[in-house]
Amino acid sequence: MTTKYFNVKQGIKTGNIVLDAGTGNATVANIGVSSLANIANLSVNILTSNLIPNGNGVLSLANSTSRYKDFYLTGNIDINGQVINANTDTVIFSNNVSANGAKFETVTVNTQIIINSTTDSTSTITGSLITEGGIGIKKDLTVGGNINLATATSTAPKGSINYDDTSDSIDFKFR
């Protein structure tokens, strides 16, 4: 089988497709692909308006088995009205963030962290907030219950400190 190459100097024009031999550009007015089309890189330099689907919430970009690797954006990401904005060193979420099982190196909170879990702490590995390392507190610490004390080798508390309302005193208990 012989491969034939065509050298076109003037370009080809047929219907809605123009192939310009001088610039190497292809101009397409309408594209309809009924089967599989493989393209190494598709560069759209003439896109002068928004790329808008023909319906709201009906089309996807990729799918669960054929995903894009990287996504480069400038501006915001709006997911069902929840906006994510990023600059060179900060990602900003417009409202609440839920990150089940997420791991972060550093988290900076400018106002307040609210943990809605009501899980009581009964050891160093239970409760609403658990840390493998220590906790540094630069200012006041207000505790509404006991301060339970465990050892480095035992997760169970060996003693506690609490405020006794009835006698208006601080109680130290050791087990």
Mean pLDDT of the chain: 79
Mean pLDDT (whole number) for 131-140: 90
Alpha carbon 83 to its chain's center: 11
The per-residue pLDDT for range 15-60, each reduced to its tens digit, is: 667 777 777 777 766 655 555 555 666 666 666 777 778 888 888 8
CA distances from 22 to 10, 64, 72, 155 (A): 7, 40, 31, 76
Structure confidence at residue 140 as a pLDDT band (50, 70, 90): very high
Per-residue pLDDT for 163 more than 80?
Answer: yes
List the strands of the sheet with 26-28, edge to edge.
Answer: 12-14, 17-19, 26-28
Q: Residues near 171 by Cβ (< 8 Å), separated by ≥ 6?
A: 160, 161, 162, 163, 164
**Kind of pairing between the strands at 76-79 and 82-86:** antiparallel
Q: Residues 162, 168: contact at Cβ < 8 Å? A: no
**What is the number of other CB atoms lying within 10 angstroms of the CB of residue 20?**
14
The per-residue pLDDT for range 79-103, each reduced to its tens digit, is: 888 888 887 777 777 777 777 888 8
pTM recorded for the entire structure:
0.45
Distance CA 34, CA 32 (A): 6
